[in-house]
Every structure is written in C-alpha cells, then in structure tokens.
C-alpha cells in the first residue's frame, strides 16, 4: 500500500501543497471527514476500500460517528459552509486556499476510484460540491429529477448503469420529499 499512499500524495501535490505536511494532513482529514458525512453507507464502504492505508486512517472517525448502510448524511451543509469548515479545521489562510485544497483532495481521490464509483459519489453530493467533484473528476451527474413512464408520472431517482443507460430507483414520494443530496 505504500506506493498507493505515495501516489495519493503525489496527486494531491499536483494541485495543492500546504505550508507543511501537518497542514496537508489536516486538510485531507477535514475534506475526507466532511465528505464521509455526506455519503450514504454503500458509497462510504466502496470509497473506504479504495483508500491507501495512511489515507484510510485520516478517513476514520470515532465509533460514535460511524454510520450503518442506508443511513442519511450526517451533515447537510452547502459548499460555502464546507469551504469555511475545511479552512478552519486545516488552518488555511482563506476560502480560496480551502477550495484549492478541497479540489486537490477530490483529484487525488479520483485516482484511487474507478469511473463508476466516482459517478455514484457525485450523485450523492449537494449542489456546489457536486459540480466541483464532477468537474475535477470528469464525471457527469445524473439528473436528480428524471421522469420515467407516462407524462405526469412522479419523478424517479435515477443512477447511471454501465454502458450509459439509466435505472430507476425508488420514487421520490416513497422516500419523502428530500433527497440525500440536499
């Protein structure tokens, strides 16, 4: 795993470097922690399995905050709040540096995930994070409100299938009016 760890940090450094290794670790931990809190259980498990060992330790959270498969996100704040939290936790100079660090972490994560996993994650993120993840990792989010069936039918949540097709998931009505990515 050491080579994977070195590759992760090399990918990060292509986009951003902190003032020292400790600041970089704080930034990565902050981004991973808050990204983790935005994702439902299956995406957490898939992403965690791909992380190099050293990065996985930064990703780990106390048992109190561990999540079971199928639970909704623990945090629901928007990108501007994400920026300020990462800035504060990592001790970065401003939100511009925080955005650079966030995008660098996204970039490095994208190198340890396959394309399908990156697409699954993008569809779980709120506006702001979603667009930046998609742009940084060259994935297209599925439309959140695509209709299937007859005109006037309720919107269905969709995900992309390998090969570009779509598969309908539970209707919005059966899950309530809010998506996991709101």
Clarify whether residues 132 and 154 are in a common domain.
Answer: no
Backbone φ and ψ for 167, nearest 5 degrees, come out as -130, 130
Whether the Cβ atoms of residue 17 and residue 28 lie closer than 8 Å to each other: no
Computed over every residue of the chain, the mean pLDDT equals 76
pLDDT at 41: 77
Clarify whether residues 125 and 169 are in a common domain.
Answer: no
pLDDT at 70: 55
| Per-residue pLDDT tens over the stretch 84-142 | 999 999 999 999 999 999 999 999 999 888 898 899 889 888 889 999 999 999 998 88
| Per-residue pLDDT tens over the stretch 6-51 | 999 999 999 999 999 999 999 999 999 888 888 877 788 888 888 9
Q: How far apart are CA 129 and CA 172, in angstroms?
A: 22
Clarify whether residues 80 and 7 are in a common domain.
Answer: yes
Whether the Cβ atoms of residue 124 and residue 139 lie closer than 8 Å to each other: no
Clarify whether residues 160 and 98 are in a common domain.
Answer: no
Whether the Cβ atoms of residue 98 and residue 87 lie closer than 8 Å to each other: yes
Clarify whether residues 10 and 56 are in a common domain.
Answer: yes
Kindly state whether residue 9 falls inside one of the protein's structural domains. Answer: yes
Kindly list the distances between the CA atom of residue 161 and the CA atoms of 69, 118, 123, 167, in Å, as whole numbers in the listed order: 21, 13, 13, 7
Kindly state whether residue 181 falls inside one of the protein's structural domains. Answer: no
Domain that holds residue 114: 2-137
| Per-residue pLDDT tens over the stretch 139-164 | 988 864 343 333 333 333 333 434 44
pLDDT at 74: 63
Q: How far apart are CA 108 and CA 50, in angstroms?
A: 12
């Amino acid at each position: 795993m050491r080579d994977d760890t070195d590759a992760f940090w090399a990918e990060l450094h292509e986009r951003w470097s902190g003032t020292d290794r400790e600041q970089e670790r704080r930034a990565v931990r902050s981004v991973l922690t808050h990204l983790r809190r935005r994702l439902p259980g299956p995406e957490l498990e898939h992403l965690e399995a791909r992380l190099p060992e050293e990065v996985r330790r930064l990703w780990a959270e106390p048992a109190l905050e561990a999540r079971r498969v199928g639970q909704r996100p623990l945090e629901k704040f928007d990108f501007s709040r994400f920026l300020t939290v990462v800035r504060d936790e990592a001790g970065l100079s401003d939100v511009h540096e925080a955005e650079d660090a966030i995008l660098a972490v996204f970039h490095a994560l994208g190198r340890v995930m396959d394309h399908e996993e990156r697409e699954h994650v993008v569809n779980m993120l709120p506006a702001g994070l979603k667009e930046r993840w998609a742009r940084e990792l060259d994935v297209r989010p599925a439309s959140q409100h695509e209709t299937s069936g007859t005109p006037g039918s309720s919107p269905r949540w969709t995900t992309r299938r390998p090969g570009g097709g779509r598969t309908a998931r539970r209707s919005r009505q059966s899950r309530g009016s809010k998506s996991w990515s709101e």
